[in-house]
Amino acid sequence: MRRSLISLAIAASLLSGCSLIPDYQRPASPVDSAWPSEAGTAQSASVAADLGWRAFFRDPALQGLIDTALANNRDLRVAALNVEAYAAQRQIQRSALFPSISADGGASRQRLPGSLSDSGEAGINSQYSATLGASAWELDLFGRLRSLDEQALQQYFASEEARRATQIALVASVANAWLTLQADQELLQLTQDTLKTYQQSFALTRRSFDVGVADALALAQARSAVESAQVSLAQYSRQVAQDRNALVVLLGSGKAGGLPAGRALADDLLLEVPAGLPSDLLQRRPDLRQAEYQLKAANANIGAARAAFFPSVSLTANAGSLSPDLAGLFDAGSGSWLFQPSISLPLFNAGRLKASLDYAELQQDIQVASYEKAIQVAFQEVADGLAARATYQQQLDAQRALVKTNEEYYRLAERRYRTGVDSYLTLLDAQRQLFSVRQQLIGDRLAQLASEVELYKALGGGWYEQTQLAAAPAD
Residue 5: per-residue pLDDT:
43
Class of 21-98+142-310+352-458 per CATH?
A: mainly alpha
Give bridge partners of residue 57 from the DSSP assignment.
270
Give the global pTM: 0.85
Residue 165: strand, helix, or coil: helix
According to the model, what pLDDT value does residue 322 have?
81
Q: How far apart are CA 292 and CA 297, in angstroms?
A: 9
213: phi then psi, degrees, rounded to nearest 5: -85, -45
Q: What is the DSSP letter of 255?
A: -
Task: Give the ranges where 308-423 is alpha helix by DSSP (H).
Answer: 352-418
CA-based nearest residue to 372, from 275, 295, 457: 295
Closest CA to 265 of 112, 128, 126, 443: 443
- Ramachandran region of residue 165, left (φ > 0), alpha (ψ -120 to 50) or beta? alpha
Report the distance separating Cα 272 and Cα 281, nearest Å: 18
Alpha-helical (H) ranges within 211-263 are: 216-251
**Quick check: 161 and 293 in contact, CB under 8 A?**
yes
- Give me the pLDDT at residue 236, please: 95
Tell me phi and psi for residue 126, to 5 degrees. -125, 150
CA distance 367 to 370: 5
Tell me the CA distances in angstroms from 171 to 62, 126, 234, 316, one per residue in order: 10, 71, 30, 54
Residue pLDDT tens, the chain, 475 long: 445 444 544 444 444 557 889 999 999 888 887 777 665 554 555 678 889 999 999 999 999 999 999 999 999 999 999 999 999 999 999 998 888 888 888 888 777 776 666 666 766 777 878 888 888 888 888 889 999 999 999 999 999 999 999 999 999 999 999 999 999 999 999 999 999 999 988 898 888 888 887 788 888 988 999 999 999 999 999 999 999 999 999 999 876 567 888 889 989 999 988 877 777 788 889 999 999 999 999 999 999 999 999 998 888 888 888 877 777 777 777 788 888 888 988 988 899 999 999 999 999 999 999 999 999 999 999 999 999 988 999 999 999 999 999 999 999 998 888 887 888 888 889 999 999 999 999 999 999 999 999 999 999 999 999 988 755 455 4
Backbone angles phi, psi at 35, to 5 degrees: -70, 155
Residue 43: the pLDDT is 57
For residues 190 and 435, is the Cβ–Cβ distance under 8 A? Answer: yes
Q: What is residue 374's predicted lDDT score, i.e. its pLDDT?
A: 94
pLDDT of residue 8: 47
Own/partner contacts of 217-226, CB < 8 Å, gap of 24 or more, are 217/424, 218/423, 218/424, 218/425, 221/424, 221/425, 221/428, 222/198, 222/424, 222/428, 225/198, 225/201, 225/428, 225/431, 225/432, 226/195, 226/198, 226/199, 226/202
Q: Cβ–Cβ contacts within 10 Å for residue 228, how many?
A: 15
Model pLDDT, residue 40? 54
CA–CA gap between residue 196 and residue 209 (Å, rounded): 20
414-425 burial, b if ≥16 CB within 10 A, otherwise e? beebeeeebbbe
- Angle at which helix 424-458 crosses helix 352-418, to 10 degrees, equals 150
Is the torsion defined by CA of 58, 59, 64, 66 positive or negative?
Answer: negative
**8 A C-beta contact, residue 342 and residue 316:** yes
Residue 231, C-beta contacts closer than 8 angstroms, at least 6 positions apart: none
Yes or no: say if 299 and 24 are a contact pair by the CB < 8 Å rule: yes
